[in-house]
Homo-oligomer: A and B are copies of this chain.
Amino acid sequence: MKKKLAILGSTGSIGTQALEVVDNLPDDFKVVALTTNTKIDLLREQIKKYDPEYVVVGDRGKRAELEKGIVGRTQILSSIEELIKKSDVDLILNALSGVAGIVPTLEAVKAGIDVALANKESLVAAGDIIMKLARENKVNIYPVDSEHSAIWQCLRGEKEKEIKKIIITCSGGPFRGKKLAELADITLKQALDHPTWKMGGKITIDSSTLMNKGLEVIEAYQLFDVTPEQIEVVVHPQSIIHSAVEFADGSIKAQLGPHDMRIAIQYALTYPAHKRSPAEDFSLTETARLDFEEPDLKAFPCLAYAFAALEAGGTMPAVVNAANEAAVMLFLDGKIKYLDIPRLIKEAMDKHEVVAEPTFEQIMAASEWAGKIVVG
């Protein structure tokens, strides 16, 4: 029987790659719902190809535009919450970007629907609440990020209490090896040129500051049964080893492969099965060499801020996440300099009064507060 799938953010990088996975396994999936914020031209093509029951268009103007030309059975809804309430799906792929992805994850978990989670912010900001609810509702959260997918794969068949540490690899970004002073005059163009993965603007900047890795550390803490001290970040420029787990006996398992997100996306969709994938054959001998080094926390303080936020707990991870999101948007808009990103995050952290064990509303309020503090 085909797995009924909703793809939130189907016109983005992860969303379109997920549809390639679906194309490659036509007997495995039925695409029931798709969503975009503004990209209705691509969504129109996707509607034609996949004939979903529902689509959501976030932007009101674009939604009205799509409604004019629609043919066929597909219903256009105005919110993902409505979609989750109406549709009957087996799995929701949450490939939304940023803070906007948090509520949909929460709603899916409330509705008892398994989530393939590509939206980092859900667990970074509201991980305590979402994971608790997922356990209560027996909802599975399948990671899509290559790092968390790697850890999850390494833990297959294993006991989490036998973990000694998890090792999250990090490409080091385009500025690996540079000292803090050398980063002062980094331009937007330089920061957008990531050496290995092709991704959206926000995540590419996050990769260059190592905040992306910081957010992954917080996410890993939520997904797996480890303390912050059990999480190690290792710089690995080739990004072939996607992450690893060391067990109590010193045995390390790593998951590796080519730079093709479709493998991790597919695994989250087909789990527990490994099926043929659209990824090209990979050869270790062609790769030839893998390097490892420690991250430079002086040049890339964002990674240290993420660990500090995890230690502080409560609303602090949400604040770091939202402050970073706001600062990166300012940088992408050309309004601040590169090193203003960590500076503004640090300022928000210093000003924030942590709420321990916050409600969801308190988390969202802290996020909003942090965004405002940064924008000023």
Contacts and interface: CB of A to CB of B under 8 A. Distances in A.
Interface in A226-269: 234-236, 241, 244, 246-258, 260, 263-264, 266-267
B234 A249 contact: no
Given A159-B274, A249-B263, A252-B282, 13 more contacts: A236-B284, A248-B277, A250-B281, A252-B255, A252-B256, A254-B255, A254-B256, A284-B292, A285-B292, A287-B292, A289-B289, A289-B290, A290-B291
A116 to B, nearest CB: 14
Given A253-B253, A267-B249, A288 B292 contact: yes
A181 interface: no
A288 B285 contact: no
Contact of A289 (B244, B251, B284, B291): B291
Number of copies: 2
B157 A157 contact: yes
A293 interface: yes
Given A251-B267, A252-B257, A294 B285 contact: yes
A324 to B, nearest CB: 26
Nearest to A156: B157
B260 A250 contact: yes
B253 A275 contact: no
Contact of A251 (B257, B285, B294): B257
Given A157-B156, A293-B285, A294-B285, A250 B258 contact: yes
Given A158-B157, A253-B255, A284-B167, A248 B274 contact: yes
B157 A274 contact: no
A255 B251 contact: yes
A274 B246 CA distance: 10
Interface in A135-155: 153-154
Contact of A254 (B158, B253, B279): B253
Q: Which 9 A/B pairs are nearest by Cβ-Cβ distance?
A: A157-B157, A247-B274, A156-B157, A250-B279, A249-B277, A162-B274, A284-B292, A290-B290, A249-B274
A1 interface: no
A49 interface: no
Contacts of A235: 285
Contacts of A159: 274
Contacts of A281: 250
A71 interface: no
Interface of A: 153-154, 156-159, 162, 167, 234-236, 241, 244, 246-258, 260, 263-264, 266-267, 270, 273-277, 279-282, 284-285, 287-294
A111 B204 CA distance: 60
Nearest to A257: B252
Contacts of A288: 291-293
A282 to B, nearest CB: 6
11 contacts: A154-B253, A156-B158, A157-B157, A162-B273, A244-B284, A250-B260, A250-B263, A251-B274, A252-B256, A287-B292, A288-B292
Most B Cβ at <10 Å: residue of A251, A252, A281: A251
Given A156-B156, A157-B158, A277 B293 contact: no
A250 B251 CA distance: 23
Contacts of A277: 248-250
Nearest to A260: B250
A16 to B, nearest CB: 18
